């Protein structure tokens, strides 16, 4: 696997080596020793999966305080624009984001450390999205930053009328009002 550093410290694009032949393909999606050598030690405790249709935007989600989560995300079917936003106030990239296309074709993954908000927009007719987390979900600690926060200014590259979101995500706060990480 190739571990590609992004402009946000701790966020990596992971490109697996895919072996193709007449039967199909094979690749290692995660290998503990190799991951720790390039990224660091992370103890994943839970795997999650979601299915969404074109235009669904989930995010920008995170968990606060001791319930913060690191995530390793990928797409099994379809195509998404995946976004990580730096919420570490002491970081030189606070409030900045990285956006990466993840798909069943490119098989890329994105590692997002604790201290970041995360979201994705489905660009295909359907997407199956899966991710590992290093801390269990804690509803009392969940938080969300508005997908169109002007201070972050994510380029989702979609007409707002085409977006499908949950009520919770529509009511999210702006970065200026959010509880962030030191």
Say which residues have a Cβ less than 8 Å from residue 92's Cβ, sequence separation at least 6: none
Q: Please confirm, yes or no, whether 3 is among the known catalytic residues.
A: no
**Buried/exposed code over 146-156 (b: 16+ C-beta within 10 A; e: otherwise):** bbebeebebeb
Say which residues have a Cβ less than 8 Å from residue 30's Cβ, sequence separation at least 6: 72, 109, 132
> CA–CA separation, 60 vs 170, rounded Å?
10
Of the listed 61, 62, 97, 118, which one is catalytic?
61
Of the listed 62, 97, 118, 131, which one is catalytic?
131
Q: Please confirm, yes or no, whether 38 is among the known catalytic residues.
A: no
Supply the residues annotated as catalytic. 61, 131
């Amino acid at each position: 696997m190739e571990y590609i550093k992004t402009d946000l410290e701790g966020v990596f694009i992971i490109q697996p080596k895919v072996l193709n032949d007449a039967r199909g393909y094979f690749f290692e999606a995660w290998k503990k020793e190799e991951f720790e050598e390039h990224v660091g030690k992370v103890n994943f405790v839970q795997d999650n999966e979601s299915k969404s249709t074109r235009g669904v935007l989930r995010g920008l989600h995170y968990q606060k305080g001791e319930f913060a989560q690191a995530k390793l995300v990928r797409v099994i079917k379809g195509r998404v624009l995946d976004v990580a936003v730096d919420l570490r106030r002491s970081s030189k990239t606070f409030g900045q984001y990285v956006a990466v296309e993840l798909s069943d074709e490119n098989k890329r993954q994105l590692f997002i450390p604790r201290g970041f908000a995360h979201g994705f927009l489905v660009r295909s007719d359907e997407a199956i999205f899966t991710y590992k987390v290093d801390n269990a979900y804690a509803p009392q600690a969940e938080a969300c930053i508005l997908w169109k926060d002007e201070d972050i200014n994510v380029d989702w590259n979609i007409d707002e009328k085409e977006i499908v979101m949950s009520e919770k995500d529509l009511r999210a706060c702006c970065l200026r009002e959010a509880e962030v990480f030191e």
